[in-house]
Amino acid sequence: MKTTRFSIEKKQLCADCALALRRFIGGMDGVESVDEEQGKIAVKYDETAVDEEKLFEIAKDSIEKLGYKIAESDEQAAP
């Protein structure tokens, strides 16, 4: 298992947005958990079942649909 963290610019998600992200990202095959940790989204997944680049794109898209943005430093470090 591997954990990837995405920093959120607004630092804190509302409870409904955190739940929506768990549904969007957590529904992917190979994703074990999606948690919010101090302004970051932590995604724990099986790296043999999930392509890291695809995970980043889906997470970014899901976060942006909720009105948040991934911090620029995380975007530059994307695979």
Asked whether the beta carbons of 5 and 59 are under 8 A apart, the reply is no
Residue 13's Cβ-count burial label (10 Å; 0-12, 13-18, 19+) is buried
For the chain, 79 residues long, give each residue's pLDDT as a single digit of tens. Answer: 999 888 888 667 788 888 888 898 888 889 999 998 777 889 999 999 988 888 889 888 988 898 888 876 555 455 5
Asked whether the beta carbons of 7 and 44 are under 8 A apart, the reply is no
> How many domains would you assign to the chain?
1
CATH number for the domain including 26? 3.30.70.100
Q: Helix (H, G, I), strand (E, B), or coil: what is residue 53?
A: helix
Range of the domain at 51: 2-76
Residue 45's Cβ-count burial label (10 Å; 0-12, 13-18, 19+) is buried
